[in-house]
Amino acid sequence: MPLTIKVRLNGPYAVDLTTGDVLLTDHEGNPIALPDGKPTIALCRCGASSRKPFCDGTHSKIGFQGAEAARQAYDAGAQSATPGDASGG
């Protein structure tokens, strides 16, 4: 069974540890210990967690929007702008 990583809507990446071996490393390749006994870990996606690389729930306090929601909001704003708004003219 393949390793499963679920992108949660406006939340962390959820990694299912029951589907196989997982090695989590830092930018230098040093292993990061995984929490014992948990079937799933949540990896921070918003960048504001005090427990990086793990999620601490801060995304919900700061109103983090995943790329999908942020892009939809941007596109909606861009469509409502009239020509000349960005240039001032």
pLDDT of the residue at 82 = 54
Measured from the Cβ of residue 17, the count of other Cβ atoms closer than 10 Å reads 16
Is there a domain that residue 85 lies in?
Answer: no
Bridge partner list, 54: 43
pLDDT, residue 68, reads 80
Domain that holds residue 64: 4-80
The tally of domains found in the chain comes to: 1
Query: Model confidence over 29-43: pLDDT tens digits?
Result: 999 999 888 999 999
User: Which CATH number goes with the domain that contains 32?
Assistant: 3.40.5.90
Rounded to the nearest integer, the mean pLDDT of the chain is 87
Q: 69: phi > 0 → left, psi -120 to 50 → alpha, else beta; which? A: alpha
**Residue pLDDT, tens place only, 3-27:** 899 999 999 999 999 988 899 999 9
CA 64, 67, 70: angle at the middle one, nearest 5?
65
Residue 16: inside a domain, yes or no?
yes
C-alpha–C-alpha distance, residues 5 and 34, integer Å: 15
Residue 78's contacts (CB-CB under 8 Å, 6 or more residues apart) are none
